[in-house]
Amino acid sequence: MSQVRLSIELEVSQETVSAYENGKHYPSVQSLMKLSDIFGVSCDYILGLSDERHDPYYHALNETDRKFFNLYKALSLQNKELVIAYVQGLCDSKRA
């Protein structure tokens, strides 16, 4: 992924992304969470605190749930909200 694309995803400047890569600056908690989402890895992995790329709970998911989780993580925030609303609607209609 290019610095320009990542900067758009993180809503920061390209220079900021470059500074992250060069260790001159560190991402905010919000940016760290977005990076985790974008790359599908845990925050601990990004920070170098773990060799595990995924959250330990990820490994507890079955194959279908992992597939859904990975697809969901690839969505934009707006599309994630649409998916949540759709799934909530499915759950609500099931209860009725």
Q: What is the CA radius of gyration of the chain?
A: 16
Same domain, 44 and 74: no
Residue 39 reports pLDDT greater than 90: no
The answer to whether residues 58 and 69 touch, using CB atoms and an 8 Å cutoff, is yes
Residue 64 reports pLDDT greater than 80: yes
Which secondary-structure segment (H or E) carries 38?
Answer: helix 29-39
Stronger pLDDT, 87 or 53, i.e. the higher one: 87
Tally the domains of the chain: 2
Residue 89 reports pLDDT greater than 90: yes
pLDDT on residue 96: 67
One-letter identity of residue 59: H
Same domain, 45 and 87: no
Same domain, 3 and 29: yes
Same domain, 21 and 40: yes
Same domain, 33 and 77: no
pLDDT winner (highest mean) among 55-59, 60-64, 89-93? 89-93
State how far the Cα of 57 lies from the Cα of 48, in Å rounded to an integer.
18
pLDDT on residue 70: 80
Q: How confident is the model at residue 3 (pLDDT cuts 50, 70, 90)?
A: very high
Per the prediction, the chain carries an average pLDDT of 88
0.75 surpassed by pTM: no
Structural domain harbouring 16? 1-54
State how far the Cα of 55 lies from the Cα of 47, in Å rounded to an integer.
13
Instruction: Take residue 19 and report the two structure tokens written for it.
Output: 């500074």
